[in-house]
Amino acid sequence: MPASKVWAVVKANAYGHGLERAMRAFDDADGLAMIETEAAARLRELGWQKRLLLLEGFFDASDLPLLSRLKIDTAVHCDEQIDMLARAEPGMKVDVHLKMNSGMNRLGFTPAAFRGAWERLRALPAVGNITLMTHFANADDVLNPGLPLREQLSRFAAGTEGLPGERSLSNSAAVLACRELASHWVRPGIMLYGATPGGRSAREYGLEPAMTLESEIIGVQQVAAGESIGYGSRFTATAPMTVGVVACGYADGYPRHAPAGTPVIVDGVRTVIAGRVSMDMITVDLTPVPQARVGSRVELWGRSLPIDEVAGAAGTIGYELMCAVAPRVRMAED
């Protein structure tokens, strides 16, 4: 979207990828956007000089001096935040992204209340630029009858009509599905990490995964027909089988709900998990990989196995798996 400036979204530790390396990777972005005030302050410490934005805004009046001093933009989505800005100490100045609730019914002012909120903000000495912002519920499914994207757009247009200021609209799904929606700012997150926001697969969108979660086989068992594997004995071998034990479990962020049959790659060969995911281990069927032994490389998701496939098998989305990667998982050196 060459006509738009880009907020690279780095909330939740850059979707589990690490804030610092995301900062380096997104050097070309016009700004970094997140939820956590501490992360924004840390990015300034690390030397990020372009813009920063808190997508839910500040949570307490005591955050305002930091925002003003470090030049961190803030979303404003409710009257209470405007009240806090009205009571700010003299000399403070923050750029604001006024958020409209255009139908998602999470954060923001209704279209009817939007102009009033804008006028209140405009009169406050603590408020610098005001950008107009909303968030789409169904950009991966634009015709969703619950709230079609066009309905959100027309509510946004009506509520902002005649107001000056830049507009900030698209998340990844809207960037990928609605190129014609070139607002001043776009806010992609998940696509920058190479997973899909929904709609088509990451590969079909031409996205490449940034994260690969890998481990090793740490044990091999020969399991006789009729024997079961793991807690709850939820999986029973119907024929003799070789089972590999992988050093990765839900304490690493692997989804505990992943059922038998969830794909996994061992030694470059695609196979499936068998038996319940436990805290520190999963068990995998080594039938298609007879050469596998202790030390064989296992890919849980990433380069060769789309995270969205694993997420789909576990009844969730790639976003959740990325964010859940646990601190004990070591990151590779650059």
Q: Could you give the CA distance from residue 263 to residue 173 in angstroms, rounded to a whole number?
A: 25
Amino acid at 186: V
Please check if 21 is assigned to a binding site: no
For ligand PLP, the closer CB: 190 or 289: 190
The angle subtended at Cα 31 by Cα 30 and Cα 36, nearest 5°, is: 170
Question: Residues 111, 159, 197, 255: which binds ligand PLP (CB under 6 A)?
Answer: 197
* Distance of closest approach, residue 56 Cβ to ligand PLP, in angstroms: 8
Closest residue to ligand PLP: CB criterion: 189
| 26-32 contacts at long range (C-beta below 8 A, 24 or more positions apart) | 26/192, 30/5, 30/6, 30/185, 31/5, 31/6, 31/7, 31/73, 32/7, 32/8
Question: Residues 189, 244, 263, 318: which binds ligand PLP (CB under 6 A)?
Answer: 189
Please check if 279 is assigned to a binding site: yes
Q: Is 50 a catalytic residue?
A: no
Count of positions on this chain that bind ligand PLP (CB under 6 A): 12
- With CB under 6 A as the contact rule, which of the stretches 146-154, 170-178, 212-220, 302-310 interacts with ligand PLP? 170-178
- E strands, 120-212, where? 127-134, 167-168, 185-186
Please tell me whether residue 98 binds ligand PLP under the rule CB under 6 A.
Answer: no
Question: Residues 138, 172, 183, 296: which binds ligand PLP (CB under 6 A)?
Answer: 172
- Nearest partner of 134 among 172, 163, 160, 115, judged by Cα: 160
Question: Residues 98, 187, 215, 273: which binds ligand PLP (CB under 6 A)?
Answer: 187
For ligand PLP, the closer CB: 171 or 271: 171
* Distance of closest approach, residue 175 Cβ to ligand PLP, in angstroms: 7
List Cβ neighbours of 260 (8 Å cut-off, separation of 6 or more).
Answer: 234, 235, 272, 273, 274, 275
Q: Could you give the CA distance from residue 243 to residue 274 in angstroms, rounded to a whole number?
A: 8
Q: Could you give the CA distance from residue 58 to residue 37 in angstroms, rounded to a whole number?
A: 8
Applying the rule CB under 6 A, the residues between 121 and 140 that interact with ligand PLP are 135
* Distance of closest approach, residue 262 Cβ to ligand PLP, in angstroms: 23
Applying the rule CB under 6 A, the residues between 42 and 71 that interact with ligand PLP are 55
Rg (CA), the chain: 23
Question: Residues 16, 57, 188, 194: which binds ligand PLP (CB under 6 A)?
Answer: 188
* Distance of closest approach, residue 101 Cβ to ligand PLP, in angstroms: 12
Question: Residues 190, 281, 286, 307: which binds ligand PLP (CB under 6 A)?
Answer: 190
- Nearest partner of 7 among 248, 205, 193, 170, judged by Cα: 170
Query: Residue 309: left (phi > 0), alpha (psi -120 to 50), or beta?
Result: alpha
For ligand PLP, the closer CB: 138 or 171: 171
For ligand PLP, the closer CB: 272 or 323: 323
Kind plus residue range of the DSSP H or E element containing 153: helix 149-160
- Nearest partner of 172 among 189, 148, 153, judged by Cα: 189
Residues in contact with ligand PLP by the rule CB under 6 A = 9, 11, 55, 135, 171-173, 187-190, 197
Residue ranges of the annotated binding site are: 106, 279
